[in-house]
């Protein structure tokens, strides 16, 4: 997964997950940590993306 901060592809998956269960990554270049939802329009939501999509569908 590419770093949303410096766009580097040299990122490493971390052992811990976010409170919503998303995988977290650390960039080897800028040491920025982010999760797999960082940089998407859904990151500010406090609900999992699939739940939000279900609600929108309804």
Whichever of 43 and 48 has its CB closer to Zn ion, that residue is 43
Smallest gap, in angstroms, from Cβ of residue 22 to Zn ion?
A: 18
Task: Name which of 39, 4, 11 is nearest 26 in CA terms.
Answer: 11
**Which of 1-9, 18-26, 40-48, 49-57 is the region at the interface with Zn ion (rule: CB under 5 A)?**
1-9
Burial (CB count <10 Å: 0-12, 13-18, 19+), residue 55 = exposed
Q: Which residues pair with 17 in a beta bridge?
A: 23
37 belongs to the binding site for Zn ion (CB under 5 A):
no
Contact residues for Zn ion, defined by CB under 5 A: 3, 5-6, 8, 27, 29-30, 32
């Amino acid at each position: 997964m590419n770093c949303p901060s410096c766009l580097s592809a040299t990122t490493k998956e971390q052992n811990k997950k976010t409170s919503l269960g998303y995988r977290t990554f650390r960039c080897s270049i800028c040491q920025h940590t982010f999760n797999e939802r960082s940089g998407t329009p859904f990151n500010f939501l406090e609900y999992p993306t699939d739940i939000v999509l279900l609600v929108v569908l309804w």
